[in-house]
Amino acid sequence: MALLFSLILAICTGPGLLDARPSSHPFGRSPSSVRLVGGAHHCEGRVEVQQAGEWGTVCDDGWDKNDAAVVCRELGCGAVKRAISGTVYGPLTQGNQKIFIQEFKCNGMEESLSQCEREDFFDCTHEEDAGAVCEFPENVRLVDGPKRCQGRVEVKHQGQWGTVCKAGWSFAAAKVVCRQLECGRAILTRKCCNKATQGQGLIWLRKASCSGKEISLQDCPSGVWERNNCTHDEDVWVECEDPFELQLVGGDSRCAGRLEVLHKGEWGTVCDDGWGEEADQVVCRQLGCGESLSPSAKFRRRFGPGVGHIWLDDVACSGEERSLEQCAHRFWGQHNCKHAEDVAVVCAEE
């Protein structure tokens, strides 16, 4: 009878409650017990898991894209882009936050972290927190335009793609579309289209009350998508700036140097008017490097002045942007600077 009771208890409570040693047993929790924190959206950030109602972090021992891929899948995000280590997504929300897991051992095919083997925490600091960057789920797109960031707006609702009626649409909603698609700033929105670029099929109507600062259209406080009496003559068209292509030059690695951006096929520098540590963080994030090291002005000057175009000036970031084109800035080529004021950035290497 005692043996039978022990077996029943083991089955009900699961491994780990009877054996507290670091082990390779499954992390048996529901999908809602995993989250990404500190990123620009729910598909990017520091990995946290829930245990006994408390959220804790995961150490980066052995952390790789296989582990990150499982997190992305469990959260309903797109494909994994990067596995992150360190304090990129700090600071912590709680100074005394615990570290629960030393290492996950996923093969990348699991549906959730609960199916991966693990080792319980025994030696780690928050300087070694694991993180992940996943693709944002595709539920909006721009189609039939001359570039990826220009075109007729289509949204995916109830598993079906449809165009969007101009009624109830706003420029603030266009800003959100540009941000969600990782394009640059919204340039214009208007009623679409000529016959060649008109949509077909479903037309969705939604009274979007976007502020323009949301990460996705789904974050806008507004009514549900619904069928309507609109025609494809009223389809919405949006144009955004192209994403910035960046490079750091003059340093010993791709994560340190003078900042240059590509415009019209030519590289040019960025003036330091208005530049701050928040902008450094955005550049480091966009380049897939570690956190900004925020060096002194004297140290930055060692990368030397650039030549040719000064493309950007008065760049102002909050630090939350996913890429530099989402920061406020003057139009291309408008500045009052010399190359002695060129921006340089130094990031930790991944």
Count of Cβ atoms closer than 10 Å to residue 299 Cβ: 13
* Window from 3-17, 114-128, 144-158, 232-246 with minimum mean pLDDT: 3-17
Query: What pLDDT was estimated at residue 310?
Result: 95
pLDDT beyond 90 at 149: yes
Domain ranges in the chain are 34-134, 140-241, 245-346
Percent of the chain past pLDDT 90, that is, above it, reads 41
Q: Higher pLDDT residue, 299 or 29?
A: 299
The arrangement of secondary structure in 34-134, i.e. its CATH architecture, is Roll (3.10)
Lowest mean pLDDT among 54-68, 203-217, 228-242, 269-283: 203-217
Separation CA 291–CA 277 (nearest Å) = 11
Is the domain spanning 245-346 CATH 3.40.50.1970? The answer is no
Q: Check whether 236 has a pLDDT greater than 50.
A: yes
> 140-241, which class in CATH?
alpha beta
- Cβ(71)–Cβ(129) under 8 Å? no
Residue 85, pLDDT > 70, answer yes
- Model's pTM, two decimal places? 0.59
Q: Do domains 34-134 and 245-346 have the same CATH topology?
A: yes
pLDDT class of 16 with cuts at 50, 70, 90: very low
| Mean pLDDT, residues 29-51 taken together | 79
User: pLDDT per residue over 299-343, tens digit each?
Assistant: 998 999 999 999 999 999 988 887 898 888 888 899 999 999 999
Query: If DSSP codes are grouped into helix, strand and coil, which group holds residue 177?
Result: helix
* Mean pLDDT, rounded, for 92-104: 78
Single-letter code of the amino acid located at 322: R
Q: What is the mean pLDDT of residues 232-245?
A: 89
Give the N- to C-terminal CA distance of the chain in Å, as an integer: 56
